[in-house]
Structure 1
Amino acid sequence: MALAVLALLFERPMHPYELAATMRERRKEESIKLNFGTLYSVVQSLEKRELVRVKEVVREGRRPERTIYEITEAGKLELQDWLSELVSVPVREYTGFEAGLSLLPVLEPGVAVRLLEERRARLEQGLAQAEAAWGVAVKDGLPRLLMIEAEYVVVLRRAELEWVGGLVEEIRGGSFDGLEMWREWHRRIGDGLPMEAEEG
């Protein structure tokens, strides 16, 4: 949230309500974990750290006063450093799916195939929704520059969908390397034996 606030104030000074409206308009909640209820406290925290400052306080008609914030020079440096690291340095991200794959042998092969097929169906649905949202944004005139993260999500989902589909076909078709060992483990477990035969 703090990064998104700095990035928007880099564009122009805004009040918190305008910050939230712009994030929603650009669908930033799909790529950044946003909690709009904490927006004011995030802005106040950035102000305490002297990364943003009050530019002016305005009142329009009978509306309450609105405080307009702008980014400081220190804020611009922080934004550049933070973004540079996010864009240039790959970090190890531990996903739930990767953890599940690492423990896949616990499931019987047939069960694993069924669950992977469920994932494939959900991926197809998610991909269709992501492509539709991307299409709406393009139709609304948002340039690619402001939706590049949505494109990235679509590319990742397409790649995962293709990979999961291939994995399902390999297991189902019998060409998956280690499939017989996997089946044997479950036969032994069904017979009350350890997964691996004892030596000697």
Structure 2
Amino acid sequence: MAKRRKVGNLLALAVLTVVVRQPTHPYEMASILRARGKDQDMAIKWGSLYTVVQNLEKHGLLEAVGSVRQGGRPERTVYQITEAGREELRDWTRELLSTPEREHSRFEAGLSVMAGLPPDEVTALLRERLESLERRLAGQREALERERGEVPRLFLVESEYALAAGEAEAAWTRSLLDELASGAFPGLEQWRDFHETGHVPPDVAAIAERGTDTH
């Protein structure tokens, strides 16, 4: 089970990975994280960056070591990581790599309620999703191949994982579409009949009444 962190926002983890290299002010932190494409790897809300930095300082994971001024811009506080911050970075990384967490996706939520739409519409929507997925995956493959000769693999593994996860989703979606299109999906005719007549099959009604937990 994941630990309760003093600053649990994943942006805090990203900040620590920047500051562990050298003292940095928040504006530069944001520039480095954007250049690394960290908003592609984790959910980042840029508007909360200063609050996250302040919370890291409050809990002793960062400390202010000075300030800089560039041109007519406001003075900016420079932060460095503390020993407690280094340990938090190491411990958090260990947890993320070793401990699987249940992560709910919007697609999973949609699948859980797809019976509310007619099967032919669901089929069309899944085809639309698969086409979008395949376009995105093609772009990811091209980007990864382009980067392989320029970037050490150590810094590409998250892109490899994202591509593999996307390919797995596409393969599963394609398989579901094949079942729907061929008529092999169990209960397809009852599902279609429900949307045409409003009649709920007794076995489905029984499940709905008592509820079910398949997770």
Q: TM-score, normalised by structure 2?
A: 0.79
- How much has 1:5 moved relative to structure 2? 0.4
Identify the residue that residue 187 of structure 1 maps to in structure 2: 193
Whether 1:24 and 2:64 are equivalent positions in the alignment is: no
Indicate which of 82, 85, 95 corresponds to 1:72: 82
- With 51-60 and 158-167 compared, the bigger mean Cα shift is at 51-60
Contact 2:134–2:170, Cα closer than 8 Å, also in 1: yes
Identify the residue that residue 55 of structure 1 maps to in structure 2: 65
Indicate which of 161, 164, 167 corresponds to 1:155: 164
CA RMSD of aligned residues (A): 2.5
Identify the residue that residue 116 of structure 1 maps to in structure 2: 126
Aligned-partner residue type, residue 142 of structure 1 = V
Tell me: CA distance 1:185–1:117, structure 2 relative to 1, closer, same or farther (3 Å). Answer: closer
Contact 2:180–2:188, Cα closer than 8 Å, also in 1: no
Contact 2:69–2:75, Cα closer than 8 Å, also in 1: yes
Identify the residue that residue 212 of structure 2 maps to in structure 1: none
Supply the distance in 1 between the matched residues of 2:74 and 2:171 (Cα, whole angstroms).
53
Contact 2:119–2:191, Cα closer than 8 Å, also in 1: no
Between 1 and 2, higher relative CO (CA 8 Å, sep ≥ 6) is seen in 1
Tell me: CA distance 1:173–1:46, structure 2 relative to 1, closer, same or farther (3 Å). Answer: same
Percent identical pairs in the alignment equals: 41
Aligned positions of 1:121-132 closer than 5 A? 121-132=131-142
Supply the distance in 1 between the matched residues of 2:114 and 2:54 (Cα, whole angstroms).
46
Identify the residue that residue 101 of structure 1 maps to in structure 2: 111
Contact 2:67–2:77, Cα closer than 8 Å, also in 1: yes
Whether 1:12 and 2:13 are equivalent positions in the alignment is: no
Show structure 2 runs of 5+ residues with no match: 1-10, 207-215
- How much has 1:169 moved relative to structure 2? 1.4
Deviation string 1:29-71 (CA, Å, 9 cap, x unpaired) is 1112222232222112111111001233244666654432111
Supply the distance in 2 between the matched residues of 1:74 and 1:188 (Cα, whole angstroms).
60
Supply the distance in 2 between the matched residues of 1:60 and 1:191 (Cα, whole angstroms).
71
| Number of positions where the alignment pairs a residue of Structure 1 with one of Structure 2 | 195
Q: TM-score, normalised by structure 1?
A: 0.84
Tell me: CA distance 1:137–1:34, structure 2 relative to 1, closer, same or farther (3 Å). Answer: farther
Supply the distance in 2 between the matched residues of 1:38 and 1:59 (Cα, whole angstroms).
22
Supply the distance in 2 between the matched residues of 1:143 and 1:121 (Cα, whole angstroms).
31
- With 128-137 and 70-79 compared, the bigger mean Cα shift is at 128-137
Whether 1:174 and 2:180 are equivalent positions in the alignment is: no
